[in-house]
């Protein structure tokens, strides 16, 4: 184990089980208790029309006392494209909704290997299209819509942002935490050993499930699925990219932020020292985890503020 984990995270590291995507059915079957919510948020389970007549489950969080058309955060949960559900980010989505005065829509997208690429992406794009269609009838301000995700959910959010650009669906921001972006990555962080919760081999297994075992060798498939392999990143919405020091996904997040910057996109990049993949979820009371949440709230608050309340963004 690396000796420079944040002191408040060390006990969590020693007690934490690694994510298992080989026996993914067992991982899916593990019970997850939903975090208790305050009375300031109303939670509803919706269905949104998807492609080919499919219904996409979406969990909606809306602040009780907020009026008028509200900004929207389109959230994609973590889980390597293979496990997870809106239950895993239930508490975080409620906090975001209450503290930001925003509607948070948590998408229960299809999971691999039963539904490989492009299933999850199609679901994400379909929900974004519905948000723009529903607009005022649902109390959404379609000029203030952000995508948001963690791990594979952040990779999916980044890809949805690319698809939105090509189809003319407006997005004002993308929040990408520990994004899983590149199935071909062989960078230094993918060489880290003994990383807590998520190891490099688990990342590779995740991509095999999502793209198919031979899909990683198909450049055209990789280019369609992976934000890191998108040739042109110009014209994408501003981004905040958070990476963790002892995370196999660290360097691909840094590389993606650098490419966004080089393409003229406004980007803030933050590497949290002494942390591991999704450590703020495992140890939310640690000071570094609370700082991560505070930054998340602040950057989203600025991104979702009415245009008249923000300074023009310079590129």
- Please state the domain extents for the chain: 7-306
1 pLDDT band, cuts 50/70/90, is very low
pLDDT tens digits for range 135-193: 889 999 999 999 999 999 999 999 999 999 999 999 999 999 999 999 999 999 999 98
Question: What is the per-residue pLDDT for 32?
Answer: 75
CA angle (87, 88, 92) in 5-degree steps: 100
Residue 264 has pLDDT above 50, yes or no: yes
Question: What is the per-residue pLDDT for 3?
Answer: 57
Q: Is 52 a catalytic residue?
A: no
Q: Active-site residue among 60, 89, 106, 151?
A: 151
Q: Active-site residue among 6, 108, 247, 251?
A: 247
pLDDT tens digits for range 105-128: 999 999 999 999 999 999 999 999
% of the chain with per-residue pLDDT over 70: 96
Residue 22 has pLDDT above 70, yes or no: yes
Question: What is the per-residue pLDDT for 37?
Answer: 77
Which of 198, 140, 278 shows the shortest CA–CA distance to 17?
198
Residues sharing a CB contact under 8 Å with residue 158, sequence separation 6 or more, in sequence order: 147, 149, 174, 176, 179, 181, 227, 256
Which is more confident, 93 or 14? 93
Q: Is 151 a catalytic residue?
A: yes
Residue 36 has pLDDT above 80, yes or no: no
Identify whether the C-beta of residue 214 lies closer than 8 Å to the C-beta of residue 142: no
Q: Active-site residue among 148, 208, 209, 277?
A: 277
314 pLDDT band, cuts 50/70/90, is very low
Identify whether the C-beta of residue 103 lies closer than 8 Å to the C-beta of residue 90: no
CATH class of the domain whose range is 7-306:
alpha beta
Residues sharing a CB contact under 8 Å with residue 5, sequence separation 6 or more, in sequence order: 13, 196, 246, 274, 275, 276
Q: Is 229 a catalytic residue?
A: no
pTM, to two decimals: 0.95
Edge-to-edge strands of the sheet including 140-150?
41-49, 55-63, 103-107, 70-76, 140-150, 173-177, 239-246, 267-276
């Amino acid at each position: 184990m690396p000796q420079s984990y944040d002191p408040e995270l060390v006990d969590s590291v020693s007690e934490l089980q690694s994510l298992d995507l080989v026996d993914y059915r067992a991982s899916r079957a593990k019970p997850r208790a939903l975090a208790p919510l305050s009375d300031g948020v109303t939670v509803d389970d919706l269905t949104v029309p998807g492609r080919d007549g499919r219904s996409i489950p979406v969990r909606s969080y809306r602040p009780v006392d907020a009026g008028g058309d509200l900004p929207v955060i389109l959230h994609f949960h973590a889980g390597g494209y293979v496990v997870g559900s809106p239950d895993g980010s239930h508490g975080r989505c409620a906090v975001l909704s209450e503290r930001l005065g925003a509607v948070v829509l948590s998408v229960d997208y299809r999971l691999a290997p039963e539904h490989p690429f492009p299933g999850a992406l199609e679901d994400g794009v379909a929900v974004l299209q519905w948000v723009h269609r529903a607009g005022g009838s649902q109390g959404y301000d379609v000029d203030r819509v952000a995508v948001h995700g963690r791990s594979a959910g952040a990779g999916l959010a980044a890809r949805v942002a690319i698809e939105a650009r090509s189809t003319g669906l407006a997005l004002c921001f993308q929040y990408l935490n520990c994004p899983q972006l590149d199935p071909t990555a062989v960078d230094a962080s993918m060489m880290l050993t003994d990383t807590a919760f998520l190891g490099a081999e688990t990342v590779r297994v995740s991509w095999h499930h999502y793209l198919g075992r031979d899909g990683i060798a198909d450049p055209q498939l990789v280019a369609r699925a992976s934000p890191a392999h998108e040739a042109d990143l110009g014209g994408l919405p501003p981004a905040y990219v958070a990476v963790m020091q002892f995370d196999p996904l660290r360097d691909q997040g840094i590389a993606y932020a650098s490419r966004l910057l080089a393409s003229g996109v406004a980007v803030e990049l933050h590497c949290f020292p002494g942390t591991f993949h999704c450590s703020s979820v495992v140890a939310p009371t640690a000071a570094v985890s609370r700082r991560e949440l505070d930054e998340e709230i602040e950057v989203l608050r600025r991104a979702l503020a009415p245009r008249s309340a923000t300074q023009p963004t310079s590129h």
